[in-house]
Structure 1
Amino acid sequence: MRIQDALNARQGSIRKVVEAAFKKENPPGASEIISSLHLEPLQIKDYFTGKRWWDITLQGLFDDYVGDSSACLTFMAPAGVEYYLPAYLLMAVEHYYDGGVVTEDFAYGLKRSIMRDDLYRMSLYGVEKKKAIVEVLVFLWKEYGDEEALEAMRAVAMRWGNAYIKAGDQELGW
C-alpha cells in the first residue's frame, strides 16, 4: 500500500504542476483545433470542439471517439495541441498501462512534436508549460522506464536548451 500511496502522491503533484502551467481556460475555436479537411482530422475536430481539456479522459476517448485516439494531437493545429496537451500529459502519468498506445506511445509522439517545431511551435510555449512537460517526461522515464520519454528529454535539451532538464539530469546520467 505504501508504494501505491507514494505513486499517487507523485501523480497528484504532477497534476498540480500541469494544471497550474496550462490553466483552465476556454477551448479554442474549431478552426484553431484543426485546419485540415481530411476525414480523420475532421473526426478529431468534431470530437474536441467545445470540450475543455480537463474534461478529456482516456475512457471518453475509448468510448466516444470514432478514430485512432492516439493520433489526435498529431493532426491538430498548434493551438489545438497546446490546449489539449495537458489532458494527454495527465493520461500518460495517471493511466500509463491502461491507455495502450494513447499513453504508452505518448512520449514518442511528444518527441516528434518537439522536433517538428515548424508544425507545432512548442518552442513558443511559456517556461511553466515547458517545465510541466519535462516533469511529466522525467516521471514517465523514472516510474515506467519509458525509453521514449528519455529520448523526448534529449529533444527538449536540443530544441529548448538544457535549462529545462537540469533538475533531473544527474539521475538521468547527463
Structure 2
Amino acid sequence: MGAVLMGLFPELNEEETLKNVKYYFEHEFPRLKARSHMNISSLQSPSFDTVGTSGSARNTQEDKIMGQLWAMDLVKATYKVVRNCPDDHKFRTILEKCFLYGKGNTGALDAVNYETSRYFECKRAAMLYFADAFSDYYQMEVNMIKTEKSGV
C-alpha cells in the first residue's frame, strides 16, 4: 500500500472558489461599498426611554455602526489585496479592470494585451490568488474535504 502524499495546504476546489470570488465581486462588494459610505454622523442617538416598549436590549444604532465599520474594513482589504497582487502575469491589472473599475473582460483584455485564451488563464489564476490572499478577511475558498486517494 503506497503512502498518500498530502501537501502543506488542503487541495482547493477551484471551480467553487472561482464562483465565490465572482459572486463576491458582482454581488457583495458593491453592497459593501455602498454600506461603507453611510454617514455615521447621520445616525440618531440611541433612545434610552424604555417606557411602553417590550424591553429589547438590542442597540440597533450600535449594530448599524458596527456593520458600517465591518463593511469599510472589507472594502479596504479588497483594495489592499488587489493592489498587492503580483503583476508579472497581470493579476493586479486583470482584477482592477475587471472587478474594481467595472471594465469587464473586454476592458481588462485590452489593458493586458494578451490573447483571449491566455487572458482567461491569467484571470482564473488571479481570482484564485485573490481568494487565498483575502481569506484572512473573509472566507471564500472551498477546500476539498474528501478525496478519493486519501479516503477521508
TM-score between both structures, scaled by the size of structure 2:
0.29
Query: Which is helix-richer, 1 or 2?
Result: 1
| Greater relative contact order structure (CA < 8 Å, 6+ sep) | 2
